[in-house]
Amino acid sequence: MRIAFLTAPEGVEEVELTEPWKAALEAGWNPQLVSTEPGQVQAFDHLDKAGRFTVDHVLAGDTSDAFDALVLPGGVANPDALRMNERAVGFIRSFFDAGKPVAAICHAPWTLVEAEVVRGRTLTSWPSLATDIRNAGGTWVDEEVHVCHAAPGTLVTSRKPDDLEAFCAAFVKEFAA
């Protein structure tokens, strides 16, 4: 299974990238780092610069065709940048249009709001996104992990890095289904 991990060139929360990546590898899948720019993405540990990771695939009008599922790591700056990029928003929307599973953690649901795929869905996120999710027609819940099977496709969401173990277990289970 080929899994897209979509990040902006800077601002992804490192642990929200590396732990789900490790879970995908342990499941025997092929994770691919997708970004809006070539080269490397700069990860952060909260506000401090952390590791750099090499981009495998640069968005250029892509759809979900080359991938089986999508993971959206958080960090505040990462989804804020992605939601302002038409290619990234279109890429995210294409997974929902195709009914493919998506997982998003922390602030990543901002991109789901921008992609207009939240209406009628129940999800969790970093608490400060609750109003944005409700205003976009979604139902926000304060849960460690939430799996929404509203058609089309499955959406797995979590609140924060402390929820990573549950998040990884849930998206691996759902993506494998």
**For residue 76, what pLDDT is reported?**
93
**For residue 81, what pLDDT is reported?**
97
Return the structure tokens found at 22. Answer: 């490790």
The CA distance from 67 to 48, in Å, is 31
Q: What residues are annotated to the active site?
A: 106-107
Mean pLDDT of 147-155: 92
The CA distance from 96 to 92, in Å, is 7
**For residue 82, what pLDDT is reported?**
97
| Cα angle value 59/171/12 (rounded, 5°) | 45
- The domains located in the chain, with CATH, are 2-176 (3.40.50.880)
Are 133 and 122 spatial neighbours (Cβ–Cβ below 8 Å)?
no
Written as one letter, the residue type at 128 is S
Taking the whole predicted model, whether its pTM rises above 0.75 is answered as yes
**For residue 47, what pLDDT is reported?**
87
pLDDT level of residue 132 (50, 70, 90 thresholds)? very high
Are 70 and 102 spatial neighbours (Cβ–Cβ below 8 Å)?
yes
* pLDDT, tens digit, 9 for 90 and up, residues 3-46: 999 999 999 999 999 999 999 999 999 999 999 999 999 999 98
* pLDDT, tens digit, 9 for 90 and up, residues 84-115: 999 999 999 999 999 999 999 999 999 999 99
The CA distance from 66 to 24, in Å, is 17
pLDDT level of residue 151 (50, 70, 90 thresholds)? confident
10-22 burial code (b ≥16 CB/10 A, e <16): bbbbbbbbbbbbe
Quick one: which of 11, 1, 15 has its CA closest to 110? Answer: 11
The CA distance from 162 to 169, in Å, is 13
pLDDT level of residue 61 (50, 70, 90 thresholds)? confident
Quick one: which of 51, 164, 55, 152 has its CA closest to 105? Answer: 164
